Structure 1
Amino acid sequence: MTIEKKQSITQFGLTNLQEELDHLKSVKRKEVIARIKASRCFGLIENSDYETAREDQAFVESRIIAIETIIRNAEIIDTSKLDSQIVQIGSTVTIKEMPDGELETYTVVGSAEANPLGGSISSNSPIAQKVLDKRVGDQVEVTIPSGKITIQIKSIV
């Protein structure tokens, strides 16, 4: 028996995962099954439609299992109770690359709901790891793929 790790997640992230799970179970699963049935009419030997549908089915089923595991182990972060003086999971933090970089704003979230292009970074990311438990005005050095940068925390919400 394996011990499953708790997953920190905001209520917003949990709601999104529940919606994705509902869609996968009620829509995508049925679509894939229909594609498998339709492609069987052409036989199973060298049937690329059938193989593709089976691969899609495997993806859908594995994603369902992954989401159910996340939800089962979810530890909801109550963002209304966060201390705006210190960066925590659930905090929205504005940072500036020193000495004269642009301001960038990220919400630090659990890995299950990270979406860097959408402004949410995983608490396991290099930047989040360095800013967690820091305060406005603190500067930290972060190692990123392109090298080391120094960032300063400008605000925490």
Structure 2
Amino acid sequence: MTIQYLSKQKYDELEAELAELKNVKMLETAKQIDEAKQNGDLSENAEYHMAREQLAWEQGRVKEITHILDNAEVLKNTGTSDGSVGIGSTISVEIKGKQKEYTIVGAQEANPLEGKISNESPIGQAFLGKVSGDVVEVEVPAGKQVYTIRTIT
């Protein structure tokens, strides 16, 4: 069992998506299947087959979200009590003379374009446990990157 680290916001979003799937979308899709069955021969009924595929996708997504929520650990606060980088920390770093800001998040919330780095990624793992002033070297596909941690919040 792998722990899924989630912010409260992401946890709530997944709960809402799960409720929407179970209480609205799957019921609508089941109704579409029933309506498509009324059109006769199912072997050549495109609406029926599309609705069945949609229902299968929705059922798969319900299982996926349920698994995530069952294994979730909601982050109650950011970072660690000792001032080191932890999941939930926002860090300001210097790389090649430029300032960048990253937030260390669980894999479900990672989005590098928004500065959200997964704790499971090589960069995220390299930052975990470090403190302000530490120099962090990370091997990435583009080569070795050297980061200096300026602040941790």
Give TM class, smaller chain. 0.7 to 0.9
Q: How high is the sequence identity, in percent, across the aligned residues?
A: 38
The answer to which of 86-95 and 144-153 deviates more is: 144-153
Amino acid at match of 1:152: T
Query: Which structure: larger Rg?
Result: 2
Aligned length: 152
Alignment root-mean-square deviation, CA: 2.2
Cα distance change on mapping 1:18 and 1:139 into 2, 3 Å: same
1:66 alignment counterpart? 64
Structure 1: runs of 5 or more not aligned: none
- Runs ≥4 residues deviating over 6 A: none
2 CA distance for matches of 1:13 and 1:64? 16
Q: 2:90·2:152 contact (CA, 8 Å) conserved in 1?
A: yes
Task: Pick one of 105, 116, 122 that aligns with 1:109.
Answer: 105
Cα distance change on mapping 1:80 and 1:156 into 2, 3 Å: closer
Task: Pick one of 124, 140, 144 that aligns with 1:144.
Answer: 140
Task: Pick one of 3, 13, 29 that aligns with 2:10.
Answer: 13
1 CA distance for matches of 2:100 and 2:130? 16
The answer to which of 142-151 and 55-64 deviates more is: 142-151
Alpha-carbon displacement from aligned partner over 1:61-89 (angstroms, at most 9, x marks no partner): 11111111221222222215733721101
1:90-101 matches, cutoff 5 A: 90-97=88-95, 99-101=96-98
Structure 2: runs of 5 or more not aligned: none
Give the TM-score of the pair, scaled to structure 1: 0.81
1:87 alignment counterpart? 85
What's the secondary structure of 1:58's corresponding residue?
helix
Give the TM-score of the pair, scaled to structure 2: 0.83
2:33 alignment counterpart? 36
1:153 alignment counterpart? 149
